Amino acid sequence: MPDNPLHRVLCIDLTNQQYRVEEKPHLFEESVGGTGIAIRLLEEECPPGIDPLRPENPIVFAVGPLTGLFPLASKTVAMFKSPLTGNLGESHAGGRSAVSLRLAGYGAVVIKGASESPVYLSIHDDKVYFRDASALWGMTNSHTIGRVIREREPGSGTRTIMRIGRAGEQLVRYASVITETYRHFGRLGLGAVFGSKKLKAIVISGNRSLIVANPKQYRKTYDEIFQAAVNSSVMQKYHQVGTAENIEPLNAVGGLPTMNIKESRFDGAKAISGEQMAQQYLGRRIACAHCPIACIHIAALREPYEQDPYFYKTSMISYDYEPIYAMGSMLGVSDSRGLLKLLDDADRLGVDVMSAGVVLAWATEALEKGLIKLEDLAGAELKWGDHQAYRRALKMIVEQPNDLYRALARGVEYASSQYGGADFALALGGNEMPGYHTGPAAYAGFLMGSRHSHLDSAGYSIDLKSKNQQSASKIADALIAEETWRQILSSAVVCFFARGVYTQERIARAFDVAGCDVRSETLLQIGGETLRRKYSFKLREGFSPKKLRIPQRILETPSASGIISESLLRETVSQMNQKLTSL
């Protein structure tokens, strides 16, 4: 074994069913790990201009120096070229994925090529097996895939099972990859890239131990971070009600996207609030590996079987703020049981619930306006609040029986380019929007963030903290500063919920104990370099700030900060572009 197993990159070729390990100490040292190493590997491995669904598009998974050593360092970064936006694809997931990868002895995995027939990869420490997955291909329930693979891959060690559902097989451009049942690489279509490679699943089990040079210092630093996490009131909120606690406050300030943002307040918000969901359904809370917080809220939905009204089945369904927004307020669904069934369907089929909700909302309005026809919806008569119609349509988006559903499976940017209705097609930078109609900072972040996500720079927080709309320059500076720092968190790789726990000073000390030679003063420089590379990759692949489409709808419906000015938004985008290109 080398000095530092984190520096090992496992390279897998699905076409020839071969693998090898490369040592990349310099790349890890200059980038730290996680998102920092992932973008460097993507630059190396992804041919410019490649179709994201071609075999040459690589999938990169990466972890960081804190993985497996410190609390909440639980995320794996996935990077690829996105089939939804056509540029950078990046998604993070927890579960046991990160710890398993690290304990298997790798800092990153790169998967290229495509198999002729369905396979799943089985990585057990130094050995990689290419297993036939023909019997799993076509199964309609991603949970069943996990159960079957669990039976077929016994063994010791920490194990993760990442898999796609039917949506990934069908190349739905916003298909997800599910890990440990309740965690997802949700955004930007990693599931479709798996599907294009005929890759049904990846099992990783790791048996190694991690060694630290100074155990005493490690224990001290670990305890400090652990105590800071468990005593934090913010983390308690994540544990108790979870992110779903945000439904009512966002509704109160007029920032909750409702019925495709025809409104920004939802009459049914209370019925689907985190507090109500917890009171009626909370069955358990679970945690990613190595996390003392357990923010993952699982509803127990008890329903009678049709044949026997006294015999019940119980479905365990995870919920969070974003899924509740996307399938709840965005679709006018206030029936909490119907909402949970929609979330369960999205999980079983393996679609990104945020994109799916926005797509269904666009289709509902397009039907109202006569841009699409009822017969094209093949029996799913979409109406605000009608969860049964939405469940039918969701299944057909995956199966794609006709041109309309094939267009919906490519996202609202594409569907509106074919059928009209771009004014109310709520994708920013090609990615369907998250649940924050809070003001210009949120939207500037969605438009210009590397992932077109609220996770890039949390612009909603800037909107909600500032009493008046700020200048373009101030918004641009604040968004870029936040996104720069987040490159360090996601290179470490720690959960963003712990961003208040992992201060710059604590990260530097944790790196020191973990054997990562980075001084506190250079952290922001490294973060800036990672952000610069990600933005360059986007530009290389055709992203153009000048061509960004701003849906009219977000400028018409008052946000939590009032009416959003298009000129302010465009000026912020322009300033962000200038700042990002001069990093």
Closer by beta carbon to ligand SF4, 7 or else 290: 290
- The structure tokens listed for 431 are 């990615």
Closer by beta carbon to ligand SF4, 238 or else 511: 238
* Residue of 380, 495, 518, 531 interacting with ligand SF4 (CB under 6 A): 495
Instruction: Tell whether residue 108 is a contact of ligand SF4 (CB under 6 A).
Output: no
Helix (H) or strand (E) holding 184: strand 183-185
CA atoms within 13 A on the CB side of 288: 28
CB 293, min distance to ligand SF4, A = 4
> Cα(279)–Cα(67) distance, rounded to whole angstroms?
34
CB 159, min distance to ligand SF4, A = 17
Closer by beta carbon to ligand SF4, 396 or else 455: 455
Site string for ligand SF4, 228-247 (x = CB under 6 A): ----------x---------
Instruction: Tell whether residue 415 is a contact of ligand SF4 (CB under 6 A).
Output: no
CB 477, min distance to ligand SF4, A = 28
CB 289, min distance to ligand SF4, A = 8
User: From the centroid of its chain, how far is CA 9?
Assistant: 23
> Cα(303)–Cα(309) distance, rounded to whole angstroms?
9
In this structure, are strands 199-206 and 119-124 parallel, antiparallel, or unpaired? parallel
Name 13's bridge partners. Answer: 18, 112
Closer by beta carbon to ligand SF4, 7 or else 159: 159
CB 300, min distance to ligand SF4, A = 18
Q: Which of residues 348-407 bind ligand SF4 (CB under 6 A)?
A: none
Closer by beta carbon to ligand SF4, 297 or else 538: 297
Instruction: Tell whether residue 497 is a contact of ligand SF4 (CB under 6 A).
Output: yes
Q: Which of residues 263-322 bind ligand SF4 (CB under 6 A)?
A: 287-288, 291, 293-296
Provide DSSP, 62-110: E--TTTTTSTT---EEEEEE-TTTSSEEEEEE-TTHHHHHHHTT-SEEE
Instruction: Tell whether residue 175 is a contact of ligand SF4 (CB under 6 A).
Output: no
Phi and psi, residue 234, nearest 5°: -65, -45
Residues 6+ apart with CB under 8 A from 407: 414, 415, 418, 419
Q: In what order do the strands lie in the sheet with 312-319?
A: 282-286, 296-304, 312-319
Q: Which of residues 117-146 bind ligand SF4 (CB under 6 A)?
A: none
CB 369, min distance to ligand SF4, A = 39
Instruction: Tell whether residue 94 is a contact of ligand SF4 (CB under 6 A).
Output: yes
Closer by beta carbon to ligand SF4, 288 or else 427: 288
For 18-46, letters b (16+ CB in 10 Å) and e give ebeeeebeebbeebbbbbbbbbbbbeebb
Angle at the Cα of 334 (from 331 to 336), degrees rounded to 5? Answer: 115
Closer by beta carbon to ligand SF4, 86 or else 186: 186
CB 322, min distance to ligand SF4, A = 12
CB 95, min distance to ligand SF4, A = 8
Phi and psi, residue 123, nearest 5°: -110, 110
Question: What is the 3 state secondary structure string of 213-281?
Answer: CCHHHHHHHHHHHHHHHHCCHHHHHHHHCCHHHHHHHHHHCCCCCECCCCECCCCCCHHHCHHHHHHHH
CB 226, min distance to ligand SF4, A = 12
Instruction: Tell whether residue 74 is a contact of ligand SF4 (CB under 6 A).
Output: yes
> Cα(329)–Cα(136) distance, rounded to whole angstroms?
35
Closer by beta carbon to ligand SF4, 79 or else 99: 99
For 60-80, letters b (16+ CB in 10 Å) and e give bbbbbbbbbbbbbbbbbbbbb
Instruction: Tell whether residue 453 is a contact of ligand SF4 (CB under 6 A).
Output: no
Is residue 290 within 8 Å of 495, Cβ to Cβ?
no
CB 238, min distance to ligand SF4, A = 6
Closer by beta carbon to ligand SF4, 246 or else 258: 246
Instruction: Tell whether residue 72 is a contact of ligand SF4 (CB under 6 A).
Output: yes
Name 132's bridge partners. Answer: 119
Closer by beta carbon to ligand SF4, 296 or else 458: 296
Closer by beta carbon to ligand SF4, 130 or else 238: 238
CB 285, min distance to ligand SF4, A = 8
CB 292, min distance to ligand SF4, A = 8
> Cα(146)–Cα(150) distance, rounded to whole angstroms?
6
Closer by beta carbon to ligand SF4, 288 or else 360: 288
Closer by beta carbon to ligand SF4, 446 or else 497: 497
Site size toward ligand SF4, by CB under 6 A: 13
> Cα(561)–Cα(568) distance, rounded to whole angstroms?
13
CB 527, min distance to ligand SF4, A = 20
Q: Is 332 exposed, middle or buried (0-12, 13-18, 19+ CB in 10 A)?
A: buried
Dihedral angle sign, alpha carbons of residues 156, 142, 325, 318: negative
Closer by beta carbon to ligand SF4, 256 or else 288: 288
CB 346, min distance to ligand SF4, A = 18
CB 287, min distance to ligand SF4, A = 4
CA atoms within 13 A on the CB side of 78: 28
Closer by beta carbon to ligand SF4, 295 or else 393: 295
Q: Which of residues 505-564 bind ligand SF4 (CB under 6 A)?
A: none
Phi and psi, residue 530, nearest 5°: -65, -45
Instruction: Tell whether residue 342 is a contact of ligand SF4 (CB under 6 A).
Output: no
Footprint of ligand SF4 (CB under 6 A): 72, 74, 94, 238, 287-288, 291, 293-296, 495, 497
